[in-house]
Amino acid sequence: MILTQLMKMIGIGDNGPLGLLTQYQEWIEQSEVLVGGERQLSFFPTYKGEKIVVKGGLSKLVEQLRCEQRKTVILASGDPLFYGIGSYLSKKIPLEIYPYTSSIQLAFSRLKESWHDAYIVSLHGRSIKGLAQKIDGRKKVAILTDDENSPIAIANYLKRFGMTEYEMFIAENLEGENERCRLMTLDEVIENTFSSLNVVILRQTESGPIYPLGIEDEEFSQRKPDKGLITKKEIRVLSLQAMKIEPTSIVWDIGTCTGSMAIEAGKLAKEGAVFAIEKNEGDLANCLQNQHKFRVDLTAVHGKAPDRLDEFPDPNAIFIGGSGGEMQQLLSTCIERLQPDGRLVMNIATIENLYEAVQCLKELQCEVSILQAQISRSKPILHMTRFEPLNPIFIITASKKGIEHA
């Protein structure tokens, strides 16, 4: 059977039918099928038609609605096109959509703040991983929560990354009987309890630290006493540029050590994700400490690549700071997993490893380019200045033939 009429999707708030226009209420009363979550359907206990509860995946619901010939109304929370089911269903079945005020709009109205300049993120059914770099430096942030990512969990997370310049506005049960809105410090949030139905707004009370691209080497926690196992600032910037990282990129950092490359990559790929691997446990501990300091929440694991790379999603960009003596196997794995238009960048210090890497990449049908970086830094000597050279580094950039030229 083919659907012959447009279905109506109506947004509804926690005040139920009281917040609906008369026309919307009439459409619901005249319908023969009412679709929605248990909470939305509970607002209509005397409904005479059939009720269909939305649970779990939507594919089964789509198939059911495609064959429905009766007058059907679908209820959705707030604005159905704002992190709601409207976007998905409207691509599958013909719909007319009538939105209600979103929970974010209502929360900002209670706070008496504009929201056109707010950054909005949903943690509802999603991992909090990576939130730090997404919101760092933003003056206003609105967060859709769930039972796991509660106001308390968010406050603890922010404190872990030193983001104490934020205060939290928690709006609970908006337009419901038990509506409550409170502006609190992070410490106050941790000591309180909240309804599971809530929206969080973060508001900056002061500016946080700013770390532009090219963080000074001395800022990173490093292995002691033998400091120096870090990709130097100038080489780091050149390598990051070669990787062509975009905001949504998935990045691998192999041999992350202090995490300097992974952390700077995470600041570029704010909406993406960074995955790092390091064989030395002491360096991995420094990497975690640096993550918290520089507010980049990345995934760093203990191991020697290519082991454990199967735990990471396919990358758009890969950085290799050291091969650990298994270059051919490592490069084969990386190039096989690299996404179309992706780039692999290596830092190499010896001409022997340079030769081996280039030969291996060419055998893997890659386009290869090499940049030799010989950099010196100024250093005072008495009342004069001299230059102290850094170790020369070869920066190799590789991409798959026929996709993108290096």
If you average pLDDT over every residue of the chain, what do you get?
Answer: 93
Question: pTM for the complete prediction?
Answer: 0.89
Q: Are 164 and 308 in contact (CB under 8 A)?
A: no
List phi, psi (to 5°) of 223: -65, 135
What pLDDT, in 10s, does the model give residues 201-259?
Answer: 999 999 999 999 999 999 999 987 665 578 999 999 999 999 999 999 999 999 999 99
Q: Are 145 and 198 in contact (CB under 8 A)?
A: yes
Q: How far from chain centre, in Å, is Cα 80?
A: 22
SS3 of 142, please? Answer: strand
Q: Averaged over 347-369, what is the pLDDT? A: 95
One-letter amino acid for residue 268 of the chain: L
Residue 1 in this model has a pLDDT that exceeds 70: no
Verify cis geometry, omega within 30 degrees of 0, for the bond prior to 315. no
In DSSP notation, 239-302 reads HHHHHT--TT-EEEEET-TT-HHHHHHHHH-TTSEEEEEES-HHHHHHHHHHHHHHT---EEEE
Q: Are 173 and 337 in contact (CB under 8 A)?
A: no
Is the fold of 7-101 the same as that of 104-204?
A: no
What CATH topology corresponds to 217-400? Rossmann fold (3.40.50)
List phi, psi (to 5°) of 248: -105, 15
Residue 2 in this model has a pLDDT that exceeds 80: no
Residue 3 in this model has a pLDDT that exceeds 60: no
d(CA 218, CA 230): 10
Q: Write out the H or E segment, with its range, that includes residue 41.
A: helix 38-41
104-204 in CATH: which number?
3.30.950.10
d(CA 8, CA 30): 12
Q: Averaged over 73-98, what is the pLDDT? A: 94
7-101 in CATH: which number?
3.40.1010.10
Q: Are 115 and 140 in contact (CB under 8 A)?
A: yes
d(CA 107, CA 140): 12
SS3 of 373, please? Answer: strand
SS3 of 229, please? Answer: coil
SS3 of 135, please? Answer: helix
Of 275, 299, 403, give the one whose Cα is nearest residue 342.
403
What pLDDT, in 10s, does the model give residues 104-155?
Answer: 999 999 999 999 999 999 999 999 999 999 999 999 999 999 999 999 999 9
pLDDT at res. 4 = 45
Q: Averaged over 338-348, what is the pLDDT? A: 96
pLDDT at res. 5 = 63
**Token code pair at residue 46:** 């005397």
Of 75, 67, 71, 78, give the one whose Cα is nearest residue 107.
78
Q: Are 282 and 259 in contact (CB under 8 A)?
A: no
* Residue spans per domain, the chain: 7-101, 104-204, 217-400
**Token code pair at residue 363:** 């055998």
